[in-house]
Structures are given as C-alpha cells and as structure tokens.
Homo-oligomer: A and B are copies of this chain.
Amino acid sequence: MKVMDGGICSVKGVRSYGIKPGKMGLAVIVAEGNAAGVFTRNKVIAAPLIVTRDALEKNGKLAAIIANSGNANAFTGEEGLADAREMASILAGKLGVDSDLIGVASTGVIGRKLDVGWIDDNIDEVVCSLTSSPQGNSKAARAIMTTDTVPKMAAVELSSGICIGGIAKGSGMIEPNMGTMLGFVYTDAEVDSDVLDSCLKKAVDKTFNMIVVDGDTSTNDMVLLTATGASEVRPDIDEFQQGLESILTDLAKQIAKDGEGATRLIEAQVRGAVSLEDARLVAKAIVRSPLVKSAIFGKDPNWGRVVAAAGYSGADVDQTKISLAFSNGSDSAVLVDNGKIISEDIEMLGKLSSIMGSPEVIIRVNLDVGDSSATAWGCDLTYDYVRINAEYTT
C-alpha cells in the first residue's frame, strides 16, 4: 500500500471542483459507479441525507455529488426536502444524468432556509471548472469547510494498482456516530454496491465513529463511497478493506486534529478489554472527557482523569489490573502498572514533559481483563473551542 497525493483526484476518472467565495461554498464531484453511504444516527436528520439515502436505496449507484457549506438544510421541513431535491436536479440537468443518481450533502447552520438560488447562480462556475487534476480535489475539499481550518484529504494505491482516495470535512459537533462530518471517498476498483456497503460500515465503525471533538452528533453527517471500476480490477476484499480503513483513519485523524480550537491530537489506545464494544467504550470515554481534554491542553499527564473515564465508560474495568502510559510515539512513560501508581522520578518527569508538549499525545490503557482492543481519536479542549462556539451563531 502506497500513500498518494491528490485525494479523490488520484482515483482514475474522478473530476471535481469547488468554490467558497464567502460563508456559502459549493462543491461538485463527478464519477459514476456503485456506491454506498453511512448516515448520521441523529433522529433529527437533515433533508439532503434523506435525498441521498433514497438515491442509494433505489440505484446502489451514484453519478455525482453536490455539496454545499454554510447552511445545513436541517430542520427545514418539507421545504428543505424540496430544496435538497432541487440541488440534485440542478446538477443532474448540467450533467445530463438522472437526478436520482446525485448525492446531496449540506453542512453549516441548522434551521435556516437554504438559498437554492445561490447554488443555481454558481453551479456553472463549478461544473465548467471540473478537473481530474489535484486542484479539483483541493478546491472541492476547501469548498465544504465550515469551521475547519485546513482541507482534509487522503489517498492510497494498493499493490493491485487500485486507488482509493477521499476528502472530508468536520471540526465541531463531532462525536461517535458521526459529527457534522462529510466524507466522500472514491475508488477505481470494481466492487458491487452491497460489498461496498459492508466494507464502508465496517471501516466507518473503526474510524469516523471513533473520533470525538465535543460529543455532539450532527444532523448532517454522511460518508459516501463510490467505486468507478475504471481500473477494471476486482480487488482482493481484505486488501481493499485495509486500504479503505487506512484512508478513513487518515481522514478521521485529520478531523480530530482540526477539532474546533484544538492544539493537539489525542489518541486513546485501549487493549485488554472483555469485548470490542468495551474497548471502544473506554477509548471513546477517554477522548470525550472534558477533564482529560482540558488536562491535555494544560500539558498535564492527569492519569487519574483517564482512569475515572475508563471507570464510568460502562465497560468492565478492574481497577487493580489497569496499566496506563502516555506516549508521543517515540517516548513513553508508564504511570500506572497493574493498578499500582509508578512514582515519577526525574527521568520520567523529563520524558513526560516532552510527551505532553508533543502535537500528538497517545494514551495507552491496558485493562487486562480480556483480549479486545480499540483506538479512538480526539483533541484537547481549549479557550478557542469556547470562543468559536460562543460566537458562532444560528
């Protein structure tokens, strides 16, 4: 597996473009193929998700995606649904395809009527600029940003020559079961839509569903995976799954790292859990805890808060068996060993200081009550998170 540049445009046959002249942004991605989607589990579900889910259920295929930022088209009733359908229809008209082959996505403020006129006014500029060059990828990735500070993209080439590439956005309202998170992933592999569906669900559970910024699940999350088949290669499914998970892990970490106000990425690696579910509960509880998150912001290796989070996660935990270390990938400091606190000597304090100052802090927890493991990602809780969310308005 080789890491590539170019995101979705490194996948044969994918063209894209986007504009973001102000608060509103518009992105279009064109590439026909079998497709699958994963949607928010929030029971208040935004109009574009209904339109896209219907399209996938009907066809198992997508020909293109139209996505806007600046307005979530959520909680907008029948009118919102008509607006989302209108978005599909506008793009379908330009491309000369059926409008039920169009995926529609929106992100931004909730409860405001979408300005479809703006989309209609700007669609030509986007469609005329569609390109398979890397610029197409980065323009589309930027057009869907809201409070994101950087565009998010990833691509790999598998040994069979197949490519998988994706773009994503997401910064606030991120939590297991999808935040205001959009992910558009493409591959030139030949894969049936039911296989895509199961691959995507499995990969999302390990990646996008394991990131937490603030614990708020959005009304608008979706991840779409389209397989164009342009490579004419039917992949080994294990290798394809591995490649897909690698792309989604990469994008998920980019989202966590760009969490609103974040200064560092937190990775919680949990092993020794009784079940996979338990391992995930503990990993997510750690990266969700405001106390752990603000400790990491303060460069404080506050393992007591980590242990407390494990304890209330709902998972089976035996406090006499827990081991815990902080790491930055190169250095590692064990603070609790089998329930016993390791006293901090000068050498360890030096290590801890360098670890806690790193841009990525890894928290390793061994529950030692079983064989399951899981990893979750989050970010620190900072003054800027509060500022961004106290000032951003509906």
Chain A residues engaging chain B, CB cutoff 8 angstroms: 41-45, 72, 74-75, 77, 109-111, 172-173, 175, 177, 214-219, 288-291, 294-295, 297-298, 300-305, 307-312, 315-317, 319-320, 336, 339-341, 381-383, 385-387, 389-391, 393-394
Smallest CB separation, A13 vs chain B (Å): 36
Q: How far is the CA of A230 from the CA of B339 in the complex (A)?
A: 45
Smallest CB separation, A82 vs chain B (Å): 15
Smallest CB separation, A176 vs chain B (Å): 10
Residues of B within 8 A of A390 (CB): 294-295, 297-298, 300
Q: How far is the CA of A45 from the CA of B311 in the complex (A)?
A: 8
Residues of B within 8 A of A302 (CB): 393-394
Tell me whether A77 and B340 are in contact in the complex, defined as CB-CB below 8 angstroms, given that A300-B394, A317-B44 are known contacts: yes
Are B44 and A307 neighbours in the complex by a CB distance under 8 Å? yes
Are A319 and B44 neighbours in the complex by a CB distance under 8 Å? yes
Known A43-B319, A298-B389, A381-B389; further 18 A-B contacts with Cβ < 8 A: A43-B310, A43-B312, A43-B317, A77-B340, A109-B304, A110-B308, A111-B307, A111-B341, A291-B389, A294-B386, A297-B386, A297-B390, A298-B393, A300-B393, A300-B394, A304-B394, A383-B386, A385-B386
Smallest CB separation, A307 vs chain B (Å): 6
Residues of B within 8 A of A383 (CB): 383, 386-387
Q: How far is the CA of A307 from the CA of B110 in the complex (A)?
A: 9
Residues of B within 8 A of A389 (CB): 290-291, 294-295, 298, 381
In the complex, 28 of the A-B residue pairs with CB atoms within 8 angstroms, ordered by the A residue number, are A43-B315, A43-B317, A44-B308, A44-B311, A44-B319, A45-B311, A45-B319, A75-B336, A75-B339, A77-B340, A109-B304, A110-B307, A111-B336, A173-B291, A177-B312, A216-B291, A216-B308, A217-B312, A219-B311, A290-B290, A290-B385, A291-B389, A294-B389, A294-B390, A298-B391, A303-B394, A304-B394, A305-B394
Q: Is the interface of A mostly helix, strand, loop or mixed?
A: loop
Smallest CB separation, A229 vs chain B (Å): 36
Are A215 and B288 neighbours in the complex by a CB distance under 8 Å? yes
A312 touches which of B42, B290, B309, B317 (Cβ 8 Å): B42
Residues of B within 8 A of A393 (CB): 298, 300, 302
Residues of B within 8 A of A43 (CB): 310-312, 315-317, 319
Are A312 and B77 neighbours in the complex by a CB distance under 8 Å? no
Scoring A41, A291, A297 by chain B CB atoms within 10 A of each residue's CB, the highest score goes to A291
Q: How far is the CA of A44 from the CA of B74 in the complex (A)?
A: 40
